[in-house]
Structure 1
Amino acid sequence: MVDRKAIGDIGEQLAVEHLEKRGHKIRNRNYRNRTGEIDVVSSYGVYIVFTEVKARSGLIYGRPGESVDYRKIKKIRRVAEGYLQRKNIWDLQPRFDVIEVLFKGGETEINHIENAF
């Protein structure tokens, strides 16, 4: 049986490393408020980037990012709004990214979708 939590944790770590290599400054991981959670919050140039990480061990249920549906987008936006208010961030433009991490056949594929929604 595949340990979904372990896949998610490894995927999130790989996503953070991917963002850092591209110049993102990680502000928070697994930021939570009463509305929900955002996997990674980072700064990148004029942006504050809210990143949802989706990791899978195969394509049987489709691409990982396809699971970010309207309800999930709405929730992420509400959490991000609360984050900006709580941290008093008004000088950076919000951006919402999705990082897909796909583990298949001993290889890892990372797909970074900027401005996903």
Structure 2
Amino acid sequence: MQLKDAVGRFGEAIAARFLVDSGYQLLDRNWRCARGEIDIIASYGRTLVFCEVKTRSSLAFGTPAEAVGRVKAQRLRKLSLQWLGENPGGWEAIRFDVISVLRRPGAPAQLHHLQAAF
């Protein structure tokens, strides 16, 4: 496993634990199809939440959340439609969140949850 993959898995595990501890129910993790992947799909009450997790080990290239641009947001919207087609439900709302995890060597991880990021 490459270092960037290990950092990503670390961030996703922290994000999933944070969501569960915050009262979310995890519905799917690392859901994949031919067009891409959604990191975490969760529910919070009657709200369906599609979560993109970005993890970095430094701020040299900006914050982790800054890596989720217009193109990534559009891809996640399209992927969410496919997931919804395969998993119909009576959701009252749908939301797209970004969870930023900063993991600097020798320091505890910092997590920032951006609700309704796009």
TM-score per shorter chain, which class?
Answer: over 0.9
Aligned to 1:76: 76
User: Are 1:84 and 1:90, in contact at CA under 8 Å, matched by a contact in 2?
Assistant: no
User: Are 2:48 and 2:91, in contact at CA under 8 Å, matched by a contact in 1?
Assistant: no
Q: Deviation of residue 45 (structure 1)?
A: 1.1
Number of equivalences: 116
Whole-Å Cα distance in 1 between the matches of residues 18 and 64 of structure 2? 17
User: Are 1:56 and 1:103, in contact at CA under 8 Å, matched by a contact in 2?
Assistant: yes
Q: Secondary structure at the match of 1:107?
A: coil
The CA RMSD measured in Å over matched residues stands at 1.2
Structure 2 unpaired stretches of 5+: none
Aligned to 1:87: 87
Q: Secondary structure at the match of 1:60?
A: coil
Structure 1 unpaired stretches of 5+: none
Whole-Å Cα distance in 2 between the matches of residues 35 and 6 of structure 1? 23
Q: Deviation of residue 90 (structure 1)?
A: 3.7
User: Are 1:38 and 1:79, in contact at CA under 8 Å, matched by a contact in 2?
Assistant: yes
How high is the TM-score relative to the length of structure 1? 0.94
Q: Percent identity?
A: 37
Whole-Å Cα distance in 2 between the matches of residues 18 and 92 of structure 1? 23
How high is the TM-score relative to the length of structure 2? 0.93
What CA deviation, in whole Å up to 9, does each residue of 1:59-81 have, x standing for no partner?
Answer: 00000000101110000000001
